[in-house]
Amino acid sequence: MSVYVTFYSTHDAIKSQRIGAKQGWTCELVPVPRDISANCGMALFVERGSPDGVRSTLEGGGVEPQGVVERDESH
């Protein structure tokens, strides 16, 4: 499974992508899918990520995600 992470601000989106890259995640910033509600227009797509693990890591890096949504898809 993969996850989409949504954010309150653009700043948090970029910060999360940097955190994910340091963690070695396969991740990228993408436009927020239309069926997901979000403050910021960018979401972090994390391939083969677990929602709890991704959230926990980002919170440890000082980012509070707005939402973490699990999806059965890959980019």
Partner 1 sequence: MKPTPSSAPEIYFDHAATCGARPDAVAEAMLTAMHESANPGRSGHRRSIAAAERVFDARESVARLFGIADERRLVFAQNATDALNLAIRGLLDDTAPPRTVITTRLEHNSVMRPLRALEDAGAIRVEHAPDDAHGFVDADALATRLADDDVTAVIVNHASNVTGLIQPVAAIGAVCRARGVVFVVDAAQSAGALDLDVDHAAIDLLAFTGHKGLLGPQGTGGLFVRDGIEISPLRRGGSGSRSEEERHPDFYPDRLEAGTPNTPGLAGLDAAVRFVESVGPGEMLRHERALAARFSAGLDTIDRARGSNPPHRRVAVVSVEMDGVPSSRVAMRLDRDAGILVRAGLHCAPAAHRALGTHPAGTARFSFGWFNTEAEVDRAIDALARIAATEPASSTPISG
Give the binding range for partner 1 (CB under 8 A) out of 19-27, 37-45, 46-54, 67-75: 37-45
- 11 is an interface residue for partner 1 by CB under 8 A: yes
Q: Within 10 Å of residue 74's Cβ, how many Cβ atoms?
A: 10
11 or 48, CB closer to partner 1?
Answer: 11
Give the binding range for partner 1 (CB under 8 A) out of 12-20, 46-54, 67-75: 12-20
The answer for 13, left when phi > 0, alpha when psi is -120 to 50, beta otherwise, is: alpha
Torsion sign across C-alpha atoms 14, 66, 70, 50: positive
- 26 is an interface residue for partner 1 by CB under 8 A: no
